[in-house]
């Protein structure tokens, strides 16, 4: 029954192409929704708002319900659209989310690439954003500049 409930939420919210699902400390699930096939095509066409997003769900197994809690990326449209790959990470030090939109983000002027964003999920305030022209990656990780002990 939970799978049927989850399927209904996924379909009604247009979750198409999930990557890098993670369990958050609050018991919710976060994943990258590539959005490919949302309009039954991977290539954006005139009048279609292709987008990718990081999305968080609350799954209540006892009551057999799934509820979307948060998302980021829909409002950015094709400048955040990655039809494949991509990642989401929870940053335990800050509670921030690190999102990697891994390929084909439209930077404008015929330029495309990958995008990395770290943001506060309470306010969606972006702490930093990196554009990597002509780049593709699978996952993004935050690493310290200097290892411990140096």
Question: Would residue 115 be called left, alpha or beta, if left means φ above 0 and alpha means ψ between -120 and 50 degrees?
Answer: beta
Query: Catalytic residues, which ones?
Result: 19
CA dihedral 130, 131, 136, 142 (to 10 degrees): 0
Alpha carbon distance 38, 31 (integer Å): 16
Q: Which two tokens stand for residue 141?
A: 């990780």
């Amino acid at each position: 029954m939970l799978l049927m409930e989850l399927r209904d939420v996924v379909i009604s919210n247009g979750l198409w192409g999930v990557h890098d699902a993670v369990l958050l400390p609050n018991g919710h699930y976060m994943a990258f929704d590539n959005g490919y096939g949302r309009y039954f095509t991977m290539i954006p066409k005139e009048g279609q708002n292709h987008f990718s997003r990081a999305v968080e769900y609350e799954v209540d197994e006892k009551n057999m319900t799934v509820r979307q809690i948060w998302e980021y990326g829909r409002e950015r449209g094709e400048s955040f659209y990655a039809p494949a790959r991509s990642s989401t990470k929870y940053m335990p030090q800050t509670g921030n989310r690190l999102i990697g939109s891994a390929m084909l983000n439209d930077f404008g002027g015929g330029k495309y690439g990958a995008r990395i964003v770290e943001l506060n999920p309470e306010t969606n305030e972006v702490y930093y954003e990196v554009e990597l022209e002509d780049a593709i990656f699978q996952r993004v990780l935050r690493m310290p500049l200097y290892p411990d002990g140096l």
